[in-house]
Structure 1
Amino acid sequence: MNVNGIKCVLLDIEGTVCPISFVKETLFPYAIRALPDVLSTKWDEAEFRSYRDAFPEEYRSSPATLQAHVEDLTRRDVKVAYLKNLQGFLWEDGYTTGAYSTPLFPDVGPKLKAWRAQGLQVAIYSSGSVFAQKLLFGHINVDDTLGSKRQGVDGDAKTRGDSTGEGKATITTESATDDPSEKTDNASTIPKPKTEDMTSIISGWFDTTNAGLKADATSYTTIATALKWQPSEILFLSDNVHEVDAAIQAGMNSIVVDRPGNVPLSSEDQTRLKAIKSLESITLNLSN
């Protein structure tokens, strides 16, 4: 698929550059498991207070109340800024300790590097916080087998998208048959996955706080202004048809990325929108 006159590629993350399953089955459960310790040890510390106080007042009356609210929002995959900021805070430890690393789709890394070498700007727009986005791209897994082994050890809690494709998640904790001491021993014998920092490839970071909601056309206008390109000079890639529609309404070029595990495209959306299964399908020409 050829697209002409593009100066910048703007990408969604979940379901576009990395599998939805990584977010639902690894990142979400890790945050839920990490939160109780943070609530018990950092509730009144300055490091955590800003995250706590961003929640509505009725949900920060006690650690137990906040925990229950976070679990509810996570089950429903609610994309609200105060939850996304907290998740980024909780995910940092997992990335830095090597509990997990980011599994990009195989076509993504080489294509992003090729676009940058071609002179194109690459930017990210995700519902996850900018802090979380940088963690994700700062710890790209370059040894998928090893990363999967470690995630299998550390990822006790599982989340599953429901059959309707609404993005809801079911969260469970350790099964009654698990032996925590054995799990700790197993995890300690698996070395950290080899990772690559790809943040230098990205020159623009946008979330719902600094750009706006992803299904609103005005958010894409805001991003274009910040990047100093005309909307028509930007190509936005996402698995979400509502986001693609909003970008097109703002004047951007936009293509649906149809990955394994994503919500299936309707026959109507397949007809009216451009769709690809791999970034390798895209050829970008800087001139019209």
Structure 2
Amino acid sequence: MVLYTVPPSVSAILLDIEGTTTPITFVKDVLFPFIKDNVKDYLRDHWEEEQCQEDVRQLRKQAQTDSHLEGHVPIPCLSENQADTDRVIQGVVHNVHWQMSMDRKTTALKQLQGHMWRSAYVTGQVKGEVYGDVVPAIQKWREAGLKVYIYSSGSIEAQKLLFQYSIEGDLLKLFDGNFDTTIGHKIESESYQNIARSIKCSAENILFLTDVTKEAKAANEAGVHVAVVVRPGNAALTDEEKSSYHLITSFKEIALSIRR
């Protein structure tokens, strides 16, 4: 087995989620279809709740901002009668489906998705998937005194839900903190410097594991150590990318340095 040896300077391991700890198919084939298939029922069931109404207000505001985009879907305003409520709900459903078909990541869409996923996790309709090599590896790293953090484009709430309600049980205790794009975008080197400052260490004290080479490049430019994770279903790497980074196919291939 080919091993990647963690540099002695590393005191924190930063993990991507999709394609690294969790199959990309979980997001594509489980989480996103859940939203598309259940958004109408969710809105009907939670319509009287303030949280749901706030989600709709934010989506309507986003729809107004998107009015210049081709194919945009407006959300009508609400009056008092039930027929109008059904019309508004249908407008929200069409808007959500449109945004998701465009792979948009607006704050309004993420907010509604996060609330729907939270309900699905809590009720057991969805369980977070993690690769079998992930939990044993993180336990070993923590026993060795390393800190472990998550950095994903998904919201911190969505990250925590995935690991709290996982097929392996509640895994939140394995992590020392979470970061999302509020700290900066993952393909910008400054984001990794921001994370280093946040956890009170230098960039060279961090090892970042990701399946996305653009993220790996940004982390490298910030001075962070990087290994690229090659999992089934992940994007294929070019020969240049393969030669530019340390590659692993499992967390089992990561060896810790002997610390003196």
TM-score bracket, normalised by the shorter chain, equals 0.7 to 0.9
CA distance in 1, matches of 2:192, 2:186: 8
The answer as to whether partners of 1:7 and 1:286 remain within 8 angstroms in 2 is no
CA distance in 2, matches of 1:258, 1:133: 21
The answer as to whether partners of 1:53 and 1:60 remain within 8 angstroms in 2 is no
Q: Which moved more, 1:12-21 or 1:52-61?
A: 52-61
| Counterpart for residue 6 of structure 2 | 3
Please give the secondary structure, in 1, of the residue aligned with 2:234.
coil
| Counterpart for residue 46 of structure 1 | 50
Instruction: Confirm or deny that 1:113 pairs with 2:139.
Output: yes
Q: How far 1:86 sits from its partner (Å)?
A: 2.2
Matches within 5 A, 1:21-170: 21-43=25-47, 45-55=49-59, 56-58=62-64, 59-61=74-76, 62-142=88-168
Q: How far 1:34 sits from its partner (Å)?
A: 2.2
CA distance in 2, matches of 1:212, 1:54: 22
CA distance in 2, matches of 1:286, 1:10: 20
TM-score normalised to the size of structure 1? 0.75
Matches within 5 A, 1:225-264: 225-264=197-236
Please give the secondary structure, in 2, of the residue aligned with 1:262.
coil
CA distance in 2, matches of 1:98, 1:41: 17
Question: Which amino acid in the other structure matches residue 6 of structure 1?
Answer: V
CA distance in 2, matches of 1:233, 1:286: 15
The answer as to whether partners of 1:238 and 1:255 remain within 8 angstroms in 2 is yes
| Counterpart for residue 279 of structure 1 | 251
Please give the secondary structure, in 1, of the residue aligned with 2:13.
strand
Match of 2:179 among 206, 214, 238: 206
CA distance in 2, matches of 1:222, 1:69: 34
Where does the alignment leave 5 or more consecutive residues of structure 1 unmatched?
A: 143-195
Summarize deviations over 1:93-143 as a string: whole Å, max 9, x none.
22122223122111101111111111111111111111111110001214x
Q: 1:237 to 1:50 in 2, by over 3 A?
A: farther
The number of residue pairs the alignment matches comes to: 234
Q: Which moved more, 1:106-115 or 1:68-77?
A: 68-77
| Counterpart for residue 15 of structure 1 | 19
Please give the secondary structure, in 2, of the residue aligned with 1:140.
coil
CA distance in 2, matches of 1:254, 1:234: 8
Where does the alignment leave 5 or more consecutive residues of structure 2 unmatched?
A: 65-73, 77-87
Name which one, 1 or 2, has greater alpha-carbon Rg. 2
Question: Which amino acid in the other structure matches residue 179 of structure 2?
Answer: F
Q: How far 1:45 sits from its partner (Å)?
A: 3.2
Q: RMSD over aligned Cα, in angstroms?
A: 2.0
Q: 1:243 to 1:51 in 2, by over 3 A?
A: farther
CA distance in 1, matches of 2:122, 2:90: 27
Please give the secondary structure, in 2, of the residue aligned with 1:285.
coil
